[in-house]
Structure 1
Amino acid sequence: MSDVKFEYQFKDRDFNKLKEIVYARTGITLGEEKRQLVYSRFAKRIRKLNLQNFSEYIEYFEKNEESEVTDFINAITTNFTSFFREPHHFEFLKNFIAEREMASRYCRIWSAGCSSGEEPYSIAMTVLDSIANPDAWDIKILCTDIDTSVLRKAEQGVYDAARVEGVDERLRSRFFLRGKGARNGLVKIRDEVRTNMVFRQLNLLDEFPFKKGFDLIFFRNVIIYFDKDTQRKIFSKIAKLQQPGDVLIIGHSENLAAVTDKYALIGRTIYQRLDN
Protein backbone atom coordinates (compact mmCIF):
# COMPACT_ATOMS: atom_id res chain seq x y z
CA MET A 1 0.00 0.00 0.00
CA SER A 2 1.30 3.49 -0.83
CA ASP A 3 2.14 5.98 1.88
CA VAL A 4 -0.98 7.61 3.36
CA LYS A 5 -1.14 11.26 4.43
CA PHE A 6 -2.08 11.93 8.07
CA GLU A 7 -1.61 14.77 10.53
CA TYR A 8 1.72 13.15 11.38
CA GLN A 9 3.84 11.65 8.62
CA PHE A 10 3.14 7.92 8.67
CA LYS A 11 5.06 5.99 6.05
CA ASP A 12 4.68 2.34 5.14
CA ARG A 13 8.03 1.63 6.73
CA ASP A 14 6.79 3.22 9.98
CA PHE A 15 3.69 1.02 9.99
CA ASN A 16 5.73 -2.09 9.24
CA LYS A 17 8.27 -1.29 11.96
CA LEU A 18 5.55 -0.68 14.55
CA LYS A 19 3.87 -3.97 13.60
CA GLU A 20 7.22 -5.69 14.10
CA ILE A 21 7.74 -4.13 17.53
CA VAL A 22 4.17 -4.84 18.64
CA TYR A 23 4.51 -8.49 17.65
CA ALA A 24 7.88 -8.86 19.39
CA ARG A 25 6.68 -7.26 22.64
CA THR A 26 3.11 -8.56 22.86
CA GLY A 27 2.61 -11.34 20.31
CA ILE A 28 -0.26 -9.35 18.78
CA THR A 29 -0.50 -9.58 14.99
CA LEU A 30 -1.58 -6.41 13.16
CA GLY A 31 -2.83 -6.63 9.59
CA GLU A 32 -3.26 -3.91 7.00
CA GLU A 33 -6.81 -3.31 8.27
CA LYS A 34 -5.31 -2.08 11.56
CA ARG A 35 -3.33 0.75 9.94
CA GLN A 36 -5.78 3.48 11.03
CA LEU A 37 -5.95 2.05 14.55
CA VAL A 38 -2.15 1.99 14.82
CA TYR A 39 -2.00 5.57 13.62
CA SER A 40 -4.63 6.85 16.06
CA ARG A 41 -3.18 5.00 19.07
CA PHE A 42 0.43 6.08 18.58
CA ALA A 43 -0.39 9.59 17.40
CA LYS A 44 -1.38 10.26 21.01
CA ARG A 45 2.10 9.26 22.17
CA ILE A 46 3.73 11.44 19.48
CA ARG A 47 1.63 14.39 20.60
CA LYS A 48 2.40 13.85 24.27
CA LEU A 49 6.14 13.50 23.63
CA ASN A 50 6.10 16.55 21.35
CA LEU A 51 7.61 14.63 18.43
CA GLN A 52 7.18 15.46 14.74
CA ASN A 53 6.32 12.14 13.10
CA PHE A 54 6.23 8.37 13.48
CA SER A 55 9.84 7.89 12.43
CA GLU A 56 10.88 10.10 15.34
CA TYR A 57 8.68 8.10 17.69
CA ILE A 58 10.19 4.79 16.56
CA GLU A 59 13.67 6.23 17.08
CA TYR A 60 12.60 7.50 20.51
CA PHE A 61 11.23 4.08 21.44
CA GLU A 62 14.41 2.28 20.40
CA LYS A 63 16.53 4.65 22.48
CA ASN A 64 14.21 4.65 25.50
CA GLU A 65 12.56 1.24 25.39
CA GLU A 66 12.87 0.52 29.10
CA SER A 67 10.95 3.66 30.08
CA GLU A 68 8.59 3.76 27.08
CA VAL A 69 7.58 0.10 26.66
CA THR A 70 4.71 0.24 29.18
CA ASP A 71 3.09 3.24 27.48
CA PHE A 72 3.78 1.60 24.10
CA ILE A 73 1.91 -1.57 25.10
CA ASN A 74 -0.91 0.37 26.74
CA ALA A 75 -1.35 2.38 23.55
CA ILE A 76 -1.95 -0.59 21.27
CA THR A 77 -3.98 -3.00 23.41
CA THR A 78 -7.73 -3.03 22.79
CA ASN A 79 -10.00 -2.94 25.83
CA PHE A 80 -13.64 -3.40 24.86
CA THR A 81 -15.53 -5.22 27.60
CA SER A 82 -18.76 -5.17 29.59
CA PHE A 83 -20.34 -6.72 32.66
CA PHE A 84 -21.70 -10.25 32.13
CA ARG A 85 -20.66 -10.30 28.48
CA GLU A 86 -21.65 -13.63 26.89
CA PRO A 87 -24.17 -14.53 29.64
CA HIS A 88 -24.12 -18.28 28.96
CA HIS A 89 -20.61 -18.42 30.39
CA PHE A 90 -21.88 -17.12 33.71
CA GLU A 91 -24.77 -19.59 33.70
CA PHE A 92 -22.13 -22.30 33.31
CA LEU A 93 -20.14 -20.74 36.16
CA LYS A 94 -23.18 -20.96 38.47
CA ASN A 95 -23.44 -24.70 37.84
CA PHE A 96 -19.67 -25.13 38.13
CA ILE A 97 -19.73 -23.51 41.58
CA ALA A 98 -22.82 -25.44 42.63
CA GLU A 99 -20.98 -28.71 41.98
CA ARG A 100 -18.11 -27.55 44.17
CA GLU A 101 -20.53 -26.49 46.89
CA MET A 102 -21.24 -30.19 47.31
CA ALA A 103 -17.57 -31.14 47.23
CA SER A 104 -14.34 -29.29 48.04
CA ARG A 105 -15.47 -25.67 48.33
CA TYR A 106 -12.08 -24.81 46.85
CA CYS A 107 -11.71 -22.90 43.60
CA ARG A 108 -9.00 -21.04 41.73
CA ILE A 109 -10.12 -18.90 38.78
CA TRP A 110 -8.02 -16.89 36.37
CA SER A 111 -9.41 -14.01 34.32
CA ALA A 112 -6.72 -13.58 31.66
CA GLY A 113 -7.00 -10.33 29.73
CA CYS A 114 -9.22 -8.88 32.45
CA SER A 115 -9.11 -5.36 30.96
CA SER A 116 -10.85 -2.74 33.14
CA GLY A 117 -12.36 -5.34 35.45
CA GLU A 118 -15.86 -5.98 34.17
CA GLU A 119 -15.16 -9.66 33.50
CA PRO A 120 -13.53 -10.63 36.82
CA TYR A 121 -16.08 -8.63 38.82
CA SER A 122 -18.84 -10.45 36.92
CA ILE A 123 -17.12 -13.72 37.86
CA ALA A 124 -16.86 -12.71 41.52
CA MET A 125 -20.49 -11.55 41.69
CA THR A 126 -21.68 -14.79 40.10
CA VAL A 127 -19.65 -16.84 42.57
CA LEU A 128 -20.90 -14.90 45.59
CA ASP A 129 -24.48 -15.09 44.35
CA SER A 130 -24.19 -18.86 43.97
CA ILE A 131 -22.96 -19.83 47.44
CA ALA A 132 -24.63 -19.59 50.80
CA ASN A 133 -21.59 -19.03 53.01
CA PRO A 134 -18.54 -17.44 51.34
CA ASP A 135 -16.52 -17.76 54.55
CA ALA A 136 -16.70 -21.53 54.21
CA TRP A 137 -14.95 -21.39 50.84
CA ASP A 138 -11.34 -21.06 49.73
CA ILE A 139 -11.73 -18.98 46.57
CA LYS A 140 -9.20 -16.87 44.73
CA ILE A 141 -9.69 -14.99 41.45
CA LEU A 142 -6.54 -13.86 39.65
CA CYS A 143 -7.06 -10.95 37.27
CA THR A 144 -4.30 -10.18 34.76
CA ASP A 145 -3.74 -7.93 31.77
CA ILE A 146 -0.75 -6.64 29.85
CA ASP A 147 -2.13 -3.07 29.98
CA THR A 148 -1.25 -1.37 33.27
CA SER A 149 -3.63 1.56 32.70
CA VAL A 150 -6.74 -0.65 32.53
CA LEU A 151 -5.47 -2.71 35.46
CA ARG A 152 -5.40 0.45 37.59
CA LYS A 153 -9.01 1.12 36.63
CA ALA A 154 -9.93 -2.48 37.39
CA GLU A 155 -8.38 -2.31 40.86
CA GLN A 156 -10.30 0.88 41.63
CA GLY A 157 -13.60 -0.76 40.69
CA VAL A 158 -15.29 2.54 39.86
CA TYR A 159 -17.49 2.88 36.75
CA ASP A 160 -19.97 5.19 35.10
CA ALA A 161 -23.44 4.22 36.25
CA ALA A 162 -24.42 3.66 32.61
CA ARG A 163 -21.96 0.75 32.48
CA VAL A 164 -24.08 -1.29 34.91
CA GLU A 165 -27.55 -0.51 33.53
CA GLY A 166 -27.64 -3.95 31.93
CA VAL A 167 -26.79 -5.74 35.18
CA ASP A 168 -29.67 -7.43 36.99
CA GLU A 169 -31.20 -5.00 39.49
CA ARG A 170 -30.82 -7.47 42.36
CA LEU A 171 -27.09 -7.79 41.69
CA ARG A 172 -26.70 -4.02 41.27
CA SER A 173 -28.28 -3.41 44.66
CA ARG A 174 -26.21 -6.06 46.39
CA PHE A 175 -22.78 -5.53 44.85
CA PHE A 176 -22.52 -1.84 43.84
CA LEU A 177 -22.43 1.41 45.78
CA ARG A 178 -23.88 4.50 44.09
CA GLY A 179 -21.86 7.70 44.23
CA LYS A 180 -23.25 10.86 45.79
CA GLY A 181 -22.37 14.53 45.50
CA ALA A 182 -19.20 14.97 43.43
CA ARG A 183 -19.31 11.24 42.59
CA ASN A 184 -22.89 11.28 41.38
CA GLY A 185 -23.26 9.22 38.22
CA LEU A 186 -20.60 6.74 39.34
CA VAL A 187 -20.84 3.31 40.95
CA LYS A 188 -18.25 1.38 42.93
CA ILE A 189 -17.83 -2.34 43.49
CA ARG A 190 -18.44 -3.26 47.15
CA ASP A 191 -15.49 -4.55 49.14
CA GLU A 192 -17.10 -7.97 49.64
CA VAL A 193 -16.75 -8.58 45.89
CA ARG A 194 -13.07 -7.63 45.88
CA THR A 195 -12.04 -9.70 48.91
CA ASN A 196 -10.74 -12.73 47.02
CA MET A 197 -9.46 -10.93 43.92
CA VAL A 198 -5.84 -10.19 42.99
CA PHE A 199 -4.83 -7.92 40.08
CA ARG A 200 -1.45 -8.38 38.37
CA GLN A 201 0.24 -7.22 35.15
CA LEU A 202 1.14 -10.14 32.89
CA ASN A 203 2.47 -10.45 29.36
CA LEU A 204 1.22 -13.76 27.98
CA LEU A 205 4.46 -14.18 26.04
CA ASP A 206 6.43 -14.34 29.29
CA GLU A 207 6.86 -17.42 31.44
CA PHE A 208 3.88 -17.77 33.76
CA PRO A 209 4.86 -17.13 37.39
CA PHE A 210 2.09 -19.26 38.92
CA LYS A 211 2.96 -21.86 41.53
CA LYS A 212 -0.45 -23.55 41.39
CA GLY A 213 -2.97 -24.25 38.66
CA PHE A 214 -6.51 -23.10 37.98
CA ASP A 215 -9.81 -24.96 38.12
CA LEU A 216 -11.37 -22.49 35.70
CA ILE A 217 -9.76 -20.06 33.26
CA PHE A 218 -11.59 -17.27 31.45
CA PHE A 219 -9.48 -16.59 28.36
CA ARG A 220 -12.05 -14.73 26.31
CA ASN A 221 -11.48 -12.50 23.30
CA VAL A 222 -7.73 -12.68 23.72
CA ILE A 223 -6.42 -15.21 21.22
CA ILE A 224 -7.94 -13.38 18.24
CA TYR A 225 -5.02 -10.94 18.45
CA PHE A 226 -2.35 -13.66 18.09
CA ASP A 227 -1.22 -15.69 15.11
CA LYS A 228 -1.58 -19.48 15.21
CA ASP A 229 2.00 -20.16 16.24
CA THR A 230 1.75 -17.78 19.20
CA GLN A 231 -1.63 -19.25 20.13
CA ARG A 232 -0.12 -22.74 20.24
CA LYS A 233 2.68 -21.58 22.54
CA ILE A 234 0.27 -19.82 24.90
CA PHE A 235 -2.19 -22.72 25.10
CA SER A 236 0.66 -25.15 25.69
CA LYS A 237 1.52 -23.12 28.80
CA ILE A 238 -2.13 -22.84 29.84
CA ALA A 239 -2.68 -26.59 29.55
CA LYS A 240 0.13 -27.17 32.04
CA LEU A 241 -1.81 -25.10 34.59
CA GLN A 242 -4.86 -27.36 34.49
CA GLN A 243 -5.69 -30.88 35.52
CA PRO A 244 -8.04 -33.24 33.66
CA GLY A 245 -11.59 -32.00 34.20
CA ASP A 246 -10.62 -28.36 34.70
CA VAL A 247 -12.37 -25.83 32.46
CA LEU A 248 -11.23 -23.24 29.92
CA ILE A 249 -13.62 -20.63 28.51
CA ILE A 250 -12.82 -18.62 25.36
CA GLY A 251 -14.65 -15.92 23.38
CA HIS A 252 -17.62 -16.37 21.05
CA SER A 253 -15.56 -15.77 17.89
CA GLU A 254 -12.69 -18.03 18.94
CA ASN A 255 -11.94 -21.75 18.76
CA LEU A 256 -9.08 -24.13 19.54
CA ALA A 257 -8.95 -25.88 16.16
CA ALA A 258 -5.36 -26.54 15.07
CA VAL A 259 -4.16 -24.82 18.25
CA THR A 260 -4.25 -27.47 20.99
CA ASP A 261 -5.44 -31.05 21.45
CA LYS A 262 -5.49 -30.80 25.24
CA TYR A 263 -9.15 -29.78 25.52
CA ALA A 264 -12.58 -31.08 24.48
CA LEU A 265 -15.56 -28.85 23.72
CA ILE A 266 -18.31 -29.28 26.32
CA GLY A 267 -20.43 -26.16 25.65
CA ARG A 268 -20.54 -22.95 23.64
CA THR A 269 -16.83 -21.97 23.64
CA ILE A 270 -16.42 -23.93 26.89
CA TYR A 271 -13.69 -26.57 27.00
CA GLN A 272 -12.58 -29.24 29.46
CA ARG A 273 -9.01 -30.33 30.02
CA LEU A 274 -8.38 -33.84 28.75
CA ASP A 275 -6.20 -36.50 30.34
CA ASN A 276 -3.34 -36.24 27.84
Structure 2
Amino acid sequence: MALKKDKNESEQRFPCLNPKMSDSDFGKFSKLIKEEFGIKMPPTKKTMLEARLQKRLRALGFDNHAQYCDFLFSPGGFERELTQLIDVVTTNTTDFFREPKHFELLLSTVLPDLCQRSRRPVKIWSAGCSSGEEPYTLCMVMNEFAENNRDFNYSLLATDISTDILRRAMNAVYPMSKVEVVPMALKKKYLLKSKNKAKPLVRVKPELRKKVDFRRLNFMESFPFKDHKDIIFCRNVVIYFDRATQYTLFKKFCATLSKGGYLFIGHSESISGMELPVRQIAPTVYQKV
Protein backbone atom coordinates (compact mmCIF):
# COMPACT_ATOMS: atom_id res chain seq x y z
CA MET A 1 0.00 0.00 0.00
CA ALA A 2 1.40 3.42 -0.95
CA LEU A 3 2.09 5.80 1.87
CA LYS A 4 0.13 9.04 1.91
CA LYS A 5 2.50 11.90 1.17
CA ASP A 6 2.65 14.92 3.39
CA LYS A 7 0.88 17.93 1.80
CA ASN A 8 3.80 20.29 2.43
CA GLU A 9 6.21 17.81 0.83
CA SER A 10 4.04 17.66 -2.29
CA GLU A 11 3.86 21.44 -2.52
CA GLN A 12 7.63 21.70 -2.21
CA ARG A 13 8.29 19.08 -4.90
CA PHE A 14 5.56 20.30 -7.23
CA PRO A 15 5.19 24.09 -6.84
CA CYS A 16 2.00 25.71 -8.07
CA LEU A 17 2.10 26.19 -11.82
CA ASN A 18 -0.10 29.28 -11.61
CA PRO A 19 0.80 31.00 -8.34
CA LYS A 20 -1.44 33.80 -7.16
CA MET A 21 -0.04 37.25 -6.52
CA SER A 22 -0.71 38.83 -3.14
CA ASP A 23 -2.35 42.25 -3.01
CA SER A 24 0.78 43.55 -1.27
CA ASP A 25 3.09 42.39 -4.07
CA PHE A 26 0.70 43.72 -6.70
CA GLY A 27 0.76 47.10 -4.98
CA LYS A 28 4.56 47.15 -5.20
CA PHE A 29 4.56 46.15 -8.88
CA SER A 30 1.84 48.70 -9.68
CA LYS A 31 3.70 51.55 -7.96
CA LEU A 32 6.98 50.68 -9.69
CA ILE A 33 5.39 50.39 -13.14
CA LYS A 34 3.68 53.78 -12.72
CA GLU A 35 6.84 55.51 -11.45
CA GLU A 36 9.25 54.01 -13.98
CA PHE A 37 7.10 53.75 -17.11
CA GLY A 38 4.07 55.99 -16.51
CA ILE A 39 1.71 53.07 -17.15
CA LYS A 40 -1.32 52.86 -14.89
CA MET A 41 -1.88 49.46 -13.32
CA PRO A 42 -5.20 49.46 -11.41
CA PRO A 43 -6.37 46.44 -9.34
CA THR A 44 -8.42 45.23 -12.33
CA LYS A 45 -5.09 44.46 -14.08
CA LYS A 46 -3.87 42.11 -11.34
CA THR A 47 -4.94 38.89 -13.07
CA MET A 48 -3.37 40.06 -16.33
CA LEU A 49 -0.07 40.85 -14.60
CA GLU A 50 -0.10 37.48 -12.82
CA ALA A 51 -0.43 35.68 -16.14
CA ARG A 52 2.14 37.77 -17.98
CA LEU A 53 4.78 37.29 -15.26
CA GLN A 54 4.60 33.48 -15.50
CA LYS A 55 7.30 33.41 -18.18
CA ARG A 56 9.68 35.47 -16.05
CA LEU A 57 9.05 33.26 -13.01
CA ARG A 58 9.91 30.16 -15.05
CA ALA A 59 12.97 31.78 -16.64
CA LEU A 60 14.37 32.79 -13.25
CA GLY A 61 13.39 29.57 -11.45
CA PHE A 62 10.99 31.21 -9.00
CA ASP A 63 7.99 29.38 -7.55
CA ASN A 64 5.85 32.43 -6.84
CA HIS A 65 5.45 36.16 -7.32
CA ALA A 66 6.79 36.94 -3.84
CA GLN A 67 10.20 35.52 -4.79
CA TYR A 68 10.17 37.51 -8.04
CA CYS A 69 9.16 40.65 -6.15
CA ASP A 70 12.05 40.23 -3.69
CA PHE A 71 14.45 39.77 -6.60
CA LEU A 72 13.10 42.75 -8.54
CA PHE A 73 13.47 45.10 -5.60
CA SER A 74 16.98 43.96 -4.76
CA PRO A 75 19.79 46.30 -6.00
CA GLY A 76 21.19 43.85 -8.57
CA GLY A 77 17.79 42.52 -9.53
CA PHE A 78 16.35 45.95 -10.28
CA GLU A 79 19.11 46.74 -12.78
CA ARG A 80 18.94 43.33 -14.47
CA GLU A 81 15.19 42.88 -14.62
CA LEU A 82 13.67 46.29 -15.33
CA THR A 83 13.92 46.01 -19.13
CA GLN A 84 12.49 42.46 -18.94
CA LEU A 85 9.58 43.72 -16.84
CA ILE A 86 8.59 46.39 -19.34
CA ASP A 87 8.58 43.77 -22.12
CA VAL A 88 6.05 41.84 -20.03
CA VAL A 89 3.89 44.84 -19.12
CA THR A 90 3.52 46.59 -22.46
CA THR A 91 0.81 45.71 -24.97
CA ASN A 92 2.02 45.77 -28.57
CA THR A 93 -0.90 45.88 -30.98
CA THR A 94 -0.36 47.52 -34.34
CA ASP A 95 -0.89 47.04 -38.07
CA PHE A 96 0.27 48.31 -41.43
CA PHE A 97 -1.80 51.32 -42.56
CA ARG A 98 -3.66 51.42 -39.25
CA GLU A 99 -6.16 54.31 -39.22
CA PRO A 100 -5.66 54.84 -42.98
CA LYS A 101 -7.13 58.36 -43.12
CA HIS A 102 -3.99 59.58 -41.35
CA PHE A 103 -1.84 58.44 -44.26
CA GLU A 104 -4.27 59.91 -46.78
CA LEU A 105 -3.98 63.25 -44.97
CA LEU A 106 -0.20 63.02 -45.07
CA LEU A 107 -0.24 62.75 -48.85
CA SER A 108 -2.98 65.27 -49.54
CA THR A 109 -2.20 68.00 -47.01
CA VAL A 110 0.67 67.57 -44.57
CA LEU A 111 3.58 66.75 -46.88
CA PRO A 112 2.65 69.36 -49.54
CA ASP A 113 2.44 71.99 -46.79
CA LEU A 114 5.81 71.08 -45.30
CA CYS A 115 7.48 71.01 -48.72
CA GLN A 116 6.04 74.41 -49.61
CA ARG A 117 7.40 75.96 -46.41
CA SER A 118 10.88 74.43 -46.45
CA ARG A 119 13.21 72.42 -48.67
CA ARG A 120 15.06 70.74 -45.83
CA PRO A 121 14.43 67.02 -45.14
CA VAL A 122 11.20 66.35 -43.26
CA LYS A 123 11.86 64.86 -39.81
CA ILE A 124 9.35 62.24 -38.67
CA TRP A 125 9.07 60.47 -35.33
CA SER A 126 7.07 57.27 -34.78
CA ALA A 127 6.77 57.35 -30.98
CA GLY A 128 5.77 54.00 -29.54
CA CYS A 129 6.56 52.18 -32.79
CA SER A 130 5.92 48.67 -31.43
CA SER A 131 6.92 45.93 -33.92
CA GLY A 132 7.57 48.35 -36.78
CA GLU A 133 4.42 48.31 -38.89
CA GLU A 134 3.80 52.04 -38.38
CA PRO A 135 7.29 53.35 -39.28
CA TYR A 136 7.51 51.04 -42.31
CA THR A 137 4.08 52.22 -43.45
CA LEU A 138 5.31 55.80 -43.08
CA CYS A 139 8.37 54.95 -45.18
CA MET A 140 6.19 53.54 -47.95
CA VAL A 141 4.08 56.70 -47.96
CA MET A 142 7.14 58.97 -47.90
CA ASN A 143 8.81 57.08 -50.73
CA GLU A 144 5.68 57.23 -52.85
CA PHE A 145 5.43 60.97 -52.27
CA ALA A 146 9.13 61.38 -53.15
CA GLU A 147 8.59 59.76 -56.55
CA ASN A 148 6.40 62.69 -57.56
CA ASN A 149 8.40 65.33 -55.67
CA ARG A 150 12.03 65.04 -56.68
CA ASP A 151 13.39 67.47 -54.08
CA PHE A 152 11.65 65.73 -51.19
CA ASN A 153 13.69 63.86 -48.57
CA TYR A 154 13.03 62.67 -45.05
CA SER A 155 14.48 61.04 -41.94
CA LEU A 156 12.48 58.75 -39.70
CA LEU A 157 13.06 58.02 -36.01
CA ALA A 158 11.14 55.14 -34.39
CA THR A 159 11.20 54.57 -30.63
CA ASP A 160 9.73 52.15 -28.14
CA ILE A 161 10.37 51.30 -24.52
CA SER A 162 10.56 47.54 -25.15
CA THR A 163 13.93 46.18 -26.28
CA ASP A 164 12.32 42.92 -27.35
CA ILE A 165 9.78 44.60 -29.60
CA LEU A 166 12.48 46.83 -31.10
CA ARG A 167 14.48 43.75 -32.09
CA ARG A 168 11.43 42.42 -33.90
CA ALA A 169 10.87 45.78 -35.59
CA MET A 170 14.46 45.94 -36.84
CA ASN A 171 14.22 42.37 -38.13
CA ALA A 172 11.13 43.44 -40.11
CA VAL A 173 9.74 39.94 -40.69
CA TYR A 174 5.95 39.56 -40.63
CA PRO A 175 3.39 36.84 -41.32
CA MET A 176 1.67 37.17 -44.68
CA SER A 177 -1.64 37.84 -42.93
CA LYS A 178 -0.18 41.04 -41.48
CA VAL A 179 0.36 42.63 -44.89
CA GLU A 180 -3.02 41.83 -46.45
CA VAL A 181 -4.02 45.49 -46.01
CA VAL A 182 -0.98 46.76 -47.90
CA PRO A 183 -1.89 47.70 -51.52
CA MET A 184 -0.58 45.15 -54.00
CA ALA A 185 1.62 47.69 -55.79
CA LEU A 186 3.35 48.55 -52.52
CA LYS A 187 3.75 44.89 -51.58
CA LYS A 188 5.60 44.22 -54.83
CA LYS A 189 7.74 47.30 -54.42
CA TYR A 190 8.69 47.13 -50.74
CA LEU A 191 8.24 43.56 -49.44
CA LEU A 192 10.09 40.28 -50.05
CA LYS A 193 8.31 36.92 -49.89
CA SER A 194 9.82 33.98 -48.05
CA LYS A 195 10.74 31.03 -50.28
CA ASN A 196 9.52 28.67 -47.57
CA LYS A 197 5.91 27.96 -48.54
CA ALA A 198 5.31 26.20 -45.23
CA LYS A 199 5.88 29.53 -43.46
CA PRO A 200 4.24 32.36 -45.42
CA LEU A 201 6.37 35.30 -44.28
CA VAL A 202 7.44 38.60 -45.76
CA ARG A 203 10.33 40.92 -44.97
CA VAL A 204 10.60 44.64 -45.57
CA LYS A 205 13.21 45.37 -48.26
CA PRO A 206 16.63 46.64 -47.12
CA GLU A 207 16.27 50.05 -48.78
CA LEU A 208 13.21 50.72 -46.60
CA ARG A 209 14.69 49.23 -43.41
CA LYS A 210 17.76 51.44 -43.59
CA LYS A 211 15.57 54.56 -43.62
CA VAL A 212 14.41 53.93 -40.05
CA ASP A 213 16.52 54.80 -37.01
CA PHE A 214 15.24 52.57 -34.20
CA ARG A 215 16.01 53.60 -30.62
CA ARG A 216 14.82 52.67 -27.14
CA LEU A 217 13.07 55.48 -25.28
CA ASN A 218 11.14 55.68 -22.02
CA PHE A 219 8.66 58.56 -22.26
CA MET A 220 9.13 59.24 -18.55
CA GLU A 221 12.71 60.31 -19.24
CA SER A 222 13.91 63.46 -21.02
CA PHE A 223 13.87 63.14 -24.79
CA PRO A 224 17.54 62.71 -25.77
CA PHE A 225 17.35 64.43 -29.17
CA LYS A 226 17.49 68.20 -29.61
CA ASP A 227 16.33 68.59 -33.19
CA HIS A 228 12.69 69.48 -33.74
CA LYS A 229 10.38 67.07 -35.53
CA ASP A 230 8.01 68.06 -38.32
CA ILE A 231 5.66 65.10 -37.85
CA ILE A 232 5.05 63.04 -34.71
CA PHE A 233 2.93 59.89 -34.76
CA CYS A 234 2.04 58.80 -31.23
CA ARG A 235 -1.07 56.70 -31.65
CA ASN A 236 -2.74 54.36 -29.17
CA VAL A 237 0.09 54.79 -26.68
CA VAL A 238 -1.01 57.36 -24.10
CA ILE A 239 -4.21 55.42 -23.36
CA TYR A 240 -2.11 53.41 -20.90
CA PHE A 241 -1.25 56.55 -18.88
CA ASP A 242 -3.38 58.54 -16.44
CA ARG A 243 -4.66 61.96 -17.51
CA ALA A 244 -1.94 63.95 -15.72
CA THR A 245 0.81 61.87 -17.34
CA GLN A 246 -0.89 62.23 -20.73
CA TYR A 247 -0.88 66.03 -20.38
CA THR A 248 2.80 66.06 -19.40
CA LEU A 249 3.66 63.87 -22.36
CA PHE A 250 1.67 65.91 -24.89
CA LYS A 251 3.41 69.07 -23.67
CA LYS A 252 6.76 67.36 -24.30
CA PHE A 253 5.66 66.35 -27.78
CA CYS A 254 4.58 69.91 -28.56
CA ALA A 255 7.93 71.24 -27.34
CA THR A 256 9.63 68.76 -29.69
CA LEU A 257 7.54 69.77 -32.73
CA SER A 258 8.75 72.45 -35.11
CA LYS A 259 6.47 75.44 -35.59
CA GLY A 260 3.79 74.35 -38.02
CA GLY A 261 4.61 70.70 -37.34
CA TYR A 262 1.96 68.00 -37.06
CA LEU A 263 0.93 65.68 -34.21
CA PHE A 264 -1.07 62.51 -34.96
CA ILE A 265 -2.73 60.67 -32.07
CA GLY A 266 -4.97 57.60 -31.89
CA HIS A 267 -8.73 57.75 -32.39
CA SER A 268 -9.24 56.42 -28.86
CA GLU A 269 -7.22 59.33 -27.43
CA SER A 270 -8.05 62.97 -26.76
CA ILE A 271 -6.34 66.24 -25.85
CA SER A 272 -9.67 67.91 -25.05
CA GLY A 273 -9.32 70.34 -22.16
CA MET A 274 -5.52 70.44 -22.37
CA GLU A 275 -3.80 73.78 -22.87
CA LEU A 276 -1.47 73.01 -25.75
CA PRO A 277 -0.06 75.19 -28.56
CA VAL A 278 -1.90 73.34 -31.33
CA ARG A 279 -4.94 73.68 -33.56
CA GLN A 280 -7.00 70.76 -34.81
CA ILE A 281 -6.92 70.27 -38.59
CA ALA A 282 -8.67 66.87 -38.74
CA PRO A 283 -9.93 64.26 -36.25
CA THR A 284 -6.96 63.37 -33.98
CA VAL A 285 -4.56 65.48 -36.07
CA TYR A 286 -3.10 68.74 -34.74
CA GLN A 287 -0.75 71.44 -36.02
CA LYS A 288 1.57 73.44 -33.77
CA VAL A 289 0.85 77.16 -33.86
The bucket for the TM-score relative to the shorter chain is over 0.9
What residue in structure 2 maps to residue 158 of structure 1? 173
Does residue 110 of structure 2 align to residue 65 of structure 1?
Answer: no
Task: Specify the SS of the correspondent of 1:122.
Answer: helix
Q: Which runs of 5+ in 1 are unaligned?
A: none
Inter-partner Cα distance in structure 1 for 2:72 and 2:148: 51
Tell me the secondary structure at the aligned position of residue 279 of structure 2. strand
Aligned residues: 270
**What amino acid is aligned across from residue 112 of structure 2 in structure 1?**
A
Distance 1:271 1:100, change over 3 A: closer
- Of 156-165 and 27-36, the range deviating more from structure 2: 27-36
Matched residue type, 1:99:
D
Structure 2-normalised TM-score? Answer: 0.88
1:187-226 equivalences in 2 (<5 Å):
187-226=202-241
Aligned ranges 1:1-276 → 2 under 5 Å = 7-63=18-74, 64-95=77-108, 96-102=110-116, 103-104=118-119, 106-132=121-147, 136-181=151-196, 184-274=199-289
Quote the offset at 1:243 in angstroms.
2.8
Q: How does the TM-score come out when normalised to structure 1?
A: 0.92
Task: Tell me, yes or no, if the aligned pair for 1:178 and 1:184 is still in contact at 8 Å.
Answer: no
- In 2, Cα distance between equivalents of 1:205 and 1:113: 13
Cα offset, 1:66, TM superposition: 0.5
Q: 1:206 & 1:134 partners in 2: Cα distance?
A: 37
1-side partners of 2:115 and 2:280: how far apart? Answer: 24
Report sequence identity in percent: 37
Find the aligned partners of 1:110 and 1:155 in 2 and give their Cα distance.
16
- CA shift digits 1:100-122 (9 cap, x unpaired): 44552520000000000001101
Residues 111 and 141 of structure 1 are in contact (CA less than 8 Å); yes or no, is this contact kept in structure 2?
Answer: yes
Q: Distance in 2 between matches of 1:106 and 1:230?
A: 31
| Aligned CA distance change for structure 1 residues 132 and 214 (closer, same or farther; 3 Å) | same
Report Cα offsets for 1:31-79 as digits up to 9, x if no partner.
2322222111112211211111111111010111111111011110110
What amino acid maps onto 1:130 in structure 2?
F
After superposition, the C-alpha distances for 1:130-174 in whole angstroms (9 at most, x for unaligned) are 222687433100000000101001011111111101211111111
CA distance in 2, matches of 1:108, 1:82: 22
Moved more, 114-123 or 98-107: 98-107
Amino acid at match of 1:25: E
Q: 1:261, CA displacement in angstroms?
A: 2.2
- Pair member with larger Rg: 2
Cα distance in 1 for partners of 2:97, 2:137 equals 6
Residues 186 and 263 (structure 1), Cα distance of their counterparts in 2 relative to 1, 3 Å cut: same
Aligned-pair distance for 1:215? 0.4
Contact kept? 2:142, 2:154, Cα under 8 Å: no
Q: Which amino acid aligns with 1:262?
A: P
Residue type of the partner of 2:152? W
| Distance (whole Å) between structure 2 residues aligned to residue 60 and residue 115 of structure 1 | 28
Alpha-carbon distance in 2 for matches of 1:65, 1:133: 51
Aligned amino acid, residue 221 of structure 2: D
Residue 212 and residue 72 in structure 1: after superposition, are their counterparts in 2 closer, same or farther (change >3 A)? Answer: same
Q: Distance in 2 between matches of 1:264 and 1:195?
A: 33
Unaligned runs of 5+ in 2: 1-15
